[in-house]
Amino acid sequence: MKSTLRRKLPRLLRYPAANIGLLLVAIYLIVAVFAGVLAPYSPIEQRAADRLQEPGAHHLFGTDEFGRDILSRLMHGASSSLRIALFAVGLATLIGTAIGMLSGYAGGIADNAIMRVMDLFFAFPAILLALSIVAALGPGATNTILAIAVVYTPIFARVARGPVLAIKEMEFVAAARCVGSNHLQILTRHILPNMVAPIIVQVSLALSWAMLTEAALSFLGLGTQPPQPSWGSMLSESRRMMEIAPWMAISPGLAIMLGVLGFNLLGDGLRDALDPRLRM
Amino acid sequence: MQRFILQRLVALVPTLFGISIIVFLVMRLIPGDTISAMIGTQYKLTEVQAASLRAYFGLDKSLPEQYWIWITNALQGNFGFSVRSGQPVLGEILNRFPLTLELALGAVIVGLLIGLPVGILSAVKRDSFLDLFGRLFSLVGLALPNFWLGTIIILVLSLYLGILPNSGNYVEFTQNPLLNLQQILFPAITLGLAFSASVMRATRSSLLEELFQDYARTARGKGLREQAVIVGHCLKNALIPVITLVGVEMGYLLGGAIVVEEVYALPGVGRLLLNGISQRDYAVVQGAVIFIAFNFVIINLLADLAYAFVNPRIRYE
């Protein structure tokens, strides 16, 4: 499997759009991971003397109504956005893939029952389901992670189940069974490695959606809570100051857009490189 | 076709039942005591007061019992009363739904008006400058958060053009159509732009596929002009997947409307839901969530039926 991935992944570099995606994601990751080092100011320290400064040499993207440096808040916002997106998508990938694999492998009534339950989650607009869960659990980063994970788990279950249905009928699985492999060994050693490609593609696309949802929930006041910076809440705060500090509204939105665009382009590129049959 | 419709309607029952269970259970995720959550922290209740309120709202019963009472009431149109306004939840939702529906429909119109021509041009002039522009447009459109787009539109309109979207005192279409359309225009553009990117993508890829089919080659072979091949033959087939997309996305637009209504301060179901969340008015939250989810499912069903209507192959599968 590793050799297949190693063979197919370099194809990604053949797609110019995927390269741009890779670059955007790399910038996002570097900024998010090293925000503490790269940010010129504290993201939460308030400086009354620097209130509502226009973008300039000292504050590249200006400051907000509390005198906080917007660039520093953007950088730390990238960290919280990445943390939430990674945990949420990681959780959904683990649980969703496990459910999808077990369901597809078991087949019959169990498969039917599990997938019908999963289908129910598709009967909600994704943002509505995430919003309801956060509304019930209460606002905050941890509950945002849980909400996004719940929304994405059925999607991973569906993505994982399809390949299992095909792979479990193949000769090498029958051969593994003949030499005495148990169900767990068959699932983890023989089936899982052959279905990594669609899951990797889905992870990239899910990360972009998770970023967008985290930003939307924070914009609505339900995601990351102040004073911790989040791109969504920064945008929401900018609306109060729109007429006197329009710069506050530009950079957080641009950051969200470029991050989402990066993961979308990377996801499309990965799909074309790893699994061209899924191409739209 | 009648059998197909009947099958789909029957399949709808367990889905709606399942949705009601999920919504009911999600609302029971509220940590701690629901009564304290509703009352807030400013009032302190005695044990007796809390117990009598719990009994009044039926919260002292088992979960299956609570569900049974709630669903039987809901089936009779009783979604409970808003804790804040004292009004029936269903009435509040129905009062606001025309606006949400109008917004979603407006977004569909905006999406089709932009997405279809850009998609068609992009496919017909493949690999040209126009195509590049179209593809860029769809990439950016899909990544653009609607709450940012809305904010920027308001910023540009109010700060640089001196026009306010004027959505504060919403006027219904029947009262003043012109003012209503003026109020809904920018929110619909905000909500519809990402949809137009999806429409563009679907139209382009679907039309590209059709342009190279045997029947298109035959049409060209018998001497038809390219325009006639595209409009008369390929486009009809290419639009079939777009119809499905419209149906599916229309449902998602209902979800997206929640955010856009908040951005433009429009009093729709989405804003009712958000106010319900911030005011801990759980009957309103529960009612609004289930109402939007039901509409989402019904719109998807209508999309399925429309798809089967224009594409007979589906009906006989």
Annotate A41-63 with DSSP letters as a single string: S-SS---GGGTTPPS-SSSTT-B
**Contact status, residue B303 vs residue B247, Cβ threshold 8 Å:** yes
DSSP-derived letter for residue A12 is G
A210 inside 8 A of chain B by CB: no
Query: Do the chains contact at B142 and A257, CB–CB below 8 Å?
Result: no
What does the block give as tokens for B2?
Answer: 């009648």
B36, B161: one domain? no
Instruction: Please report the residues numbered 91 through 130 in chain A whose beta carbons come closer than 8 angstroms to any beta carbon of chain B.
Output: 116-117, 119-121, 123-128
Interacting residues of B185 by C-beta distance below 8 A, sequence separation 6+: B106, B165
Shortest CA distance to A81 belongs to which of A260, A227, A275? Answer: A260
Q: Which CATH class is domain A61-274?
A: mainly alpha
**Contact status, residue A246 vs residue A97, Cβ threshold 8 Å:** no
How many angstroms separate the CA atoms of A233 and A223, rounded? 8
Chain B residues near residue A223 by CB distance under 8 angstroms: none
What does the block give as tokens for B204?
Answer: 């382009």
Which letter, b or e, does each residue of A28-44 get, where b requires 16 or more Cβ atoms within 10 Å of its Cβ? beebbeebeeebebebe
Q: Which of B19, B142, B277 sits opposite A123 (nearest CB)?
A: B19
Question: How many structural domains are present in chain B?
Answer: 2
- Average pLDDT over all residues of chain A: 89
- Of B42, B74, B106, the residue at which a domain comes to its end is B74
B169, B304: one domain? yes
Of all residues in chain A, what percent carry a pLDDT higher than 70? 95
| Closest-CA residue of chain A to B274 | A220
> How far apart are the CA of A131 and the nearest CA of chain B, in angstroms?
9
How many angstroms separate the CA atoms of B46 and B180, rounded? 49
B137 inside 8 A of chain A by CB: no
Query: Do the chains contact at B254 and A242, CB–CB below 8 Å?
Result: no
- Of B74, B102, B123, the residue at which a domain comes to its end is B74
How many angstroms separate the CA atoms of B142 and B80, rounded? 38
Give the confidence band of A280 by pLDDT, cuts at 50, 70, 90: very low
B126, B31: one domain? no
Instruction: Name residue A69's beta-bridge partners.
Output: A63
Is B266 strand, coil or helix?
A: coil
Give the confidence band of A275 by pLDDT, cuts at 50, 70, 90: low
Is A33 strand, coil or helix?
A: helix
How many angstroms separate the CA atoms of B24 and B171, rounded? 34
Task: Name the phi and psi angles at B61, rounded to 5.
Answer: -90, 170
H-helix or E-strand containing B166? none
Shortest CA distance to A206 belongs to which of A253, A272, A274, A154? Answer: A154
Domain CATH for B190 = 1.10.3720.10
In-domain check, residue B260:
yes
Query: Do the chains contact at A136 and B27, CB–CB below 8 Å?
Result: yes
B63, B189: one domain? no
Radius of gyration of chain B (CA): 24
B154 inside 8 A of chain A by CB: yes
H-helix or E-strand containing A123? none
Range of the domain at B20: 2-74
pLDDT score, position A4? 66
| Closest-CA residue of chain B to A243 | B159
In-domain check, residue B83:
no
**Contact status, residue B164 vs residue A233, Cβ threshold 8 Å:** no
> How far apart are the CA of B175 and the nearest CA of chain A, in angstroms?
30
In-domain check, residue B316:
no
In-domain check, residue B81:
no
Most confident of A17-21, A112-116, A144-148: A144-148
B113, B55: one domain? no
Cis bond leading into A227, ω under 30°? yes
Interacting residues of B297 by C-beta distance below 8 A, sequence separation 6+: A123, B12, B15, B16, B19, B251
**Contact status, residue B87 vs residue B80, Cβ threshold 8 Å:** no
A277 inside 8 A of chain B by CB: no
Interacting residues of B119 by C-beta distance below 8 A, sequence separation 6+: B134, B199, B200, B201, B202, B203, B204, B207
B105, B249: one domain? yes
Burial of B3 (0-12, 13-18, 19+ CB in 10 A): exposed
B292 inside 8 A of chain A by CB: yes
Domain locations in chain A as residue ranges: 61-274
B202, B146: one domain? yes
**Contact status, residue A274 vs residue A197, Cβ threshold 8 Å:** yes
Q: Which of A124, A137, A238 sits opposite B293 (nearest CB)?
A: A124
Shortest CA distance to A270 belongs to which of A8, A1, A6? Answer: A8
Residue A209 has pLDDT above 90, yes or no: yes
B154, B53: one domain? no
> Which among B277, B281, B285 is the top mutation candidate for probing chain A, defined by the most A β-carbons within 10 Å of its own β-carbon?
B277
- pLDDT truncated to tens, each residue of chain B (317 aa)? 778 788 888 888 888 899 999 998 888 877 666 666 666 666 677 778 878 877 877 777 888 898 899 899 988 989 888 877 889 999 999 999 999 999 999 999 999 999 999 999 999 998 899 999 999 999 999 999 999 999 999 888 887 777 765 556 788 888 888 888 888 999 999 999 999 999 999 999 999 988 888 998 998 899 888 888 888 888 888 888 888 888 878 888 888 899 999 999 899 999 999 998 888 888 899 999 999 999 888 888 888 788 777 776 665 54
- Of B40, B74, B108, the residue at which a domain comes to its end is B74
In-domain check, residue B22:
yes
Instruction: Name residue B272's beta-bridge partners.
Output: none
For the segment A169-206, what is each residue's pLDDT rounded down to a tens digit?
888 988 988 988 888 999 988 899 888 888 988 998 89
B161 inside 8 A of chain A by CB: no
How many Å separate Cα A235 from the centre of its chain?
20
B59, B102: one domain? no
A133 inside 8 A of chain B by CB: yes
**Contact status, residue A128 vs residue B19, Cβ threshold 8 Å:** no
Q: Which of B31, B155, B292 sits opposite A246 (nearest CB)?
A: B155
pLDDT score, position B39? 66
**Contact status, residue A73 vs residue A94, Cβ threshold 8 Å:** no
In-domain check, residue B236:
yes
In-domain check, residue B315:
no
Of A37 and B162, which is predicted with more confidence? A37
Q: Which of B19, B155, B277 sits opposite A135 (nearest CB)?
A: B277
Look at chain B and count its residues: 317
Query: Do the chains contact at A256 and B145, CB–CB below 8 Å?
Result: yes
* Amino acid, single-letter form, for residue A124: F
B163 inside 8 A of chain A by CB: no
B290, B210: one domain? yes
B244, B98: one domain? yes
What does the block give as tokens for B236?
Answer: 């009809």
How many angstroms separate the CA atoms of B149 and B161, rounded? 16
